[in-house]
Amino acid sequence: MHGHKAGGKKEYEKADSDDKARPHFIYKPGKSEPPYLTIYVSLRVDLGFEMSHVAPPAASSSSPSPSTFHFVAGLGAGISGAVLLQPLDLLKTRVQQSGSHSITSAIRDIARSPNVLTAFWRGTVSSALRTGFGSAIYFTSLNTIRQHAATLSQAAAAVTAPTSDGARHSSSLPKLSNTANLVAGAAARAFAGFILMPLTVIKVRYESNLYSYRSIAGAARDIYKTERIPGFFAGFGATAARDAPYAGLYVLTYEQFKKRLSSFYNHTLVWSTADHKAGMTGSLSATINFASGALAGATCSFISNPFDAVKTRIQLQPHSYRNMAQASRRMVVEEGVRSLYDGLVLRMTRKAISSALAWMLYEELVRRAETTFHRTTNKHV
């Protein structure tokens, strides 16, 4: 210890320890020493000092990726899922508006259109814009919240236990507690939902056959003319009540499914130094992320479907269904509890597939961007 010259004045911090007879201190390196050099010192009365070197953390934990990565990845994932699954979203809207509870009749009604392909993809532009930018804002906000939460809640744990099981998960995104994941997901979704609410209202009105809008621009003009600005935020209460808990529960269950599936497959992996830094191989990571996204999406869709059914009624018929409480009471009284689960199968199917695609694409795009970014950065160091 005394022979070490580099770094100038040495600093020590007392660390938590279960062993009261062995107080622990963490050595903080000087300016001239490598930033990843962390020394764990145990003070023992009988044997003096013990020292051990802790390996440098992975690049993803020490240098969070730029928000641009998450915005672009979320945008690409959202647009891809929206375009592919638009027919399911259109069918769900038609089933929920009709009150007939019949998917078959909704399909037959759409199939009567002169151009069947165009009819099933009606509203794709507004849906892609809403979902694409909604996903971009959501994933960017979620990553920011989670990075801050991870910094606050895991700083000490990251030093004393740098090789956490997070390195064996299928992604390098921040690992938080269940409560933190729940709150982060809900807050990010509520924020994104408010920003994108006007596009949501336009999309629902345009997809519905209750209105004879010929274009998205025409729908926007009519809403503003008849209802002004509040018309673009019709159903926001029901949307927030549906989306915020859904998103919070989704992030929680998604991370839990990833953890369980990663542990299940873990015995088949050989962890080299490169594997430890980068995580799992790309194909296995994508498989686990897709499966976790599908399971979490189906589970959360079932729980939140009543809010979605009420929200759709409010947005389509704001004069008849004024708010969430009044709308839900009227639906149950006039049509029964079953009306709260209109479109459930369609929504569960769409959400399971869209969530799986979105999160798999998002995590894969971020992983590839980070790999390229850190490789380029290291070349210039």
Query: pLDDT (tens digit, 9 = 90+) per residue, 248-277?
Result: 999 999 999 998 888 887 655 444 334 444
> In this model, does residue 242 exceed pLDDT 90?
no
- The whole-number average pLDDT for the span 341-355 is 87
Percent residues over pLDDT 70 in the chain: 71
Percent residues over pLDDT 90 in the chain: 23
CATH numeric code, 59-379: 1.50.40.10
pLDDT at 160: 40
52 or 348, greater pLDDT: 348
pLDDT at 73: 92
> In this model, does residue 148 exceed pLDDT 80?
yes
pLDDT at 284: 81
Q: How confident is the model at residue 359 (pLDDT cuts 50, 70, 90)?
A: very high
- What is the distance between the alpha carbons of residues 347 and 350, in angstroms, rounded to a whole number? 5
Q: How confident is the model at residue 330 (pLDDT cuts 50, 70, 90)?
A: very high
- Strands 11-15 and 48-54, by their bridges, are unpaired
Domain map of the chain by residue range?
A: 11-54, 59-379
Most confident of 179-183, 200-204, 314-318: 179-183
pLDDT at 91: 87
- The whole-number average pLDDT for the span 31-51 is 41
**Out of 16-25, 97-106, 157-166, 201-210, least confident range:** 157-166
**Out of 152-161, 184-193, 194-203, 231-240, least confident range:** 152-161
- The whole-number average pLDDT for the span 196-223 is 84
Please give the mean pLDDT across all residues of the chain. 76
17 or 371, greater pLDDT: 371
Q: How confident is the model at residue 360 (pLDDT cuts 50, 70, 90)?
A: very high
Q: How confident is the model at residue 47 (pLDDT cuts 50, 70, 90)?
A: very low
pLDDT at 72: 92
